[in-house]
Amino acid sequence: MFDFEALEPTIDPCNRISFLLDWELTMKCNLDCSYCRTGIDGSHDNTTSHPPLQQCIDTIEFMFQYVDLYMQRKPKGIRYVVLNVYGGESLHHPHISTILKHVHQIYRDTYRLKWQLTVTTTTNAIVSKKKLDTVIPFIDEFTVSFHSENNRKQMDLFRSNIMYLRERGKRIKCIILMHAKPELFRLSQQMIEWCQHNEIKFLPRQLDHNPERHEFNYMPEQTVWFDKLYKDKAYNSQKHVAIPIIQESVDLAKLGRACCGGRSFCKDQSYKQRDFYISNRFPNWHCSVNEFFLFVKQINGEIYTNKDCKMNFNGQIGPIGNLNNKKTILDYTKKNLETGSMPIIQCQKTRCYCGLCAPKAKHKDTYSSIMKKYRV
């Protein structure tokens, strides 16, 4: 499947290259989906408490200070920052509206003239309209996740809230998590049809799951469905990676992946072609994930280059620091960016998930050549 030695996101005015600040505000969630890992290292943990308000405000200030260091060294045309506030379920944090208000205040007071900020939240949208009304003024785009394990009442509320957000003039993207269980896969397909009928932007997503959880592997007919989806989104590509169709269930994330945000890709600097689904294994490749991502886990203060990748600057999988030593991280980043000595991350992961769209290359010289367009 490996038919390329360099990868970049395509130029897309509707999906700009940005720096993504992923902020896991809380681990508490009102759902308990079977494919969502629990515990402190998972995606939700209801045994934890919501982080205190002042700690959250301090984190906002740190994230903006950190990303500003990178923005100073990017061309003006790509000085875009996206703050994704999620969880758990971030909208259930008791101080969510106050937190979002501080996001806008800090940005307006210090960074408004330096770079452009988009505030988004990834939410299951199983919240009251009263709650939505408190956050709508502070969120530019809602990324709503459809979970087919929801009951009928939850699904009705989900759809109702999507329509309500649209009525309020908000941008919406619906991420439809394609459950492998046949009846739930069909429910997800019905959600796609609903989005199409109501002209709601949507993106089907294959499940990323523990390789040992075989119940989330896809059946051959489901794999064929994904293969058609990905081929239809490819453009002028001579190297499209077709999904191998075998007569047994398969973990698609082991074979390849599409971008979480729906971006397409250019291979080997062939900018007139684009692929949507690609191989997602990059052993020892040089990767710019730190120049486009930051992940902050509020509950324990851990700070990573990326929420899935988690590669640090020492060639290891682990945090780059903690909120308890914010100044050390800022000083290290500032010094290395100013002197041009920021270490290049080399991938040590067996699979790439979030971070797939960060420019990367097998050879260092190719990587350095590609990255010239992303720096000043």
For 330-357, give the secondary structure using H, E and C: HHHHHHHHHHCCCCCEECCCCCCECECC
pLDDT in tens, 263-292: 999 999 998 888 888 889 999 999 999 999
Q: How far apart are CA 88 and CA 240, in angstroms?
A: 35
pLDDT at residue 14 tops 90: no
List the single range of 80-94, 125-139, 255-269 with lowest mean pLDDT: 255-269
Phi, psi (deg, nearest 5) at residue 25: -65, -40
**Range of 136's domain?**
6-374
135-148 average pLDDT score? 98
Q: Of the given ranges (196-205, 238-247, 333-342, 357-366), which has the lowest mean pLDDT? A: 238-247
* pLDDT tens by residue, 159-182: 999 999 999 999 999 999 999 999
Does 324 fall in a domain? yes
CA distance 308 to 359: 16
% the chain with pLDDT above 70:
97
Q: In this structure, is residue 244 part of a structural domain?
A: yes
pLDDT of the residue at 358: 97
What is the domain count for the chain? 1
Q: Which of the four pLDDT bands, split at 50, 70 and 90, describes residue 35?
A: very high
**CATH number, domain with residue 328:** 3.20.20.70
* Domain assignment of residue 88, yes or no: yes
Quick one: what percent of the chain has pLDDT higher than 90?
A: 82
Cβ atoms within 10 Å, residue 222: 20
Residue 236 has a pLDDT of 67
- The verdict on residue 1 lying in a domain is no
Q: What is the mean pLDDT of residues 187-204?
A: 97
Mean pLDDT of the chain: 94
The residue to which tokens 């619906």 are assigned: 174
User: For residue 351, what pLDDT is reported?
Assistant: 92
Q: What is the pTM of this model?
A: 0.95
- Give the type of residue at 209: H
State pLDDT tens for residues 205-257.
Answer: 999 877 778 889 999 999 999 988 888 887 766 555 567 666 778 888 888 88
The confidence score (pLDDT) of residue 251 equals: 87
Q: Supply 305's token pair.
A: 């280059």
The distance between the two most distant Cα atoms of the chain, rounded to a whole number of Å, is 59
Instruction: Name which of 251, 193, 191 is nearest 222 in CA terms.
Output: 251
Residue 82 lies in a domain: yes
- pLDDT, position 138: 98
101 part of a folded domain: yes
Structure tokens given for 191: 């959600």
Range name among 40-49, 132-141, 226-235 with the lowest pLDDT average? 226-235
Lowest mean pLDDT, pick from 30-39, 106-115, 190-199: 30-39
pLDDT interval class at 327 (50, 70, 90): very high
Q: Residue 172: which H helix or E strand, with range?
A: strand 171-178
Does residue 338 carry a pLDDT above 60?
A: yes
Identity at 11, one-letter amino acid code: I
Cα 339 to Cα 51, 65, 117, 294, 327: the distances in Å are 36, 18, 27, 21, 18
Q: Which pLDDT score is estimated for 241?
A: 57
Q: What is the mean pLDDT of residues 322-351?
A: 96
Under 8 Å between Cβ of 307 and 22: yes
DSSP E strand stretches across 52-137:
80-86, 116-123
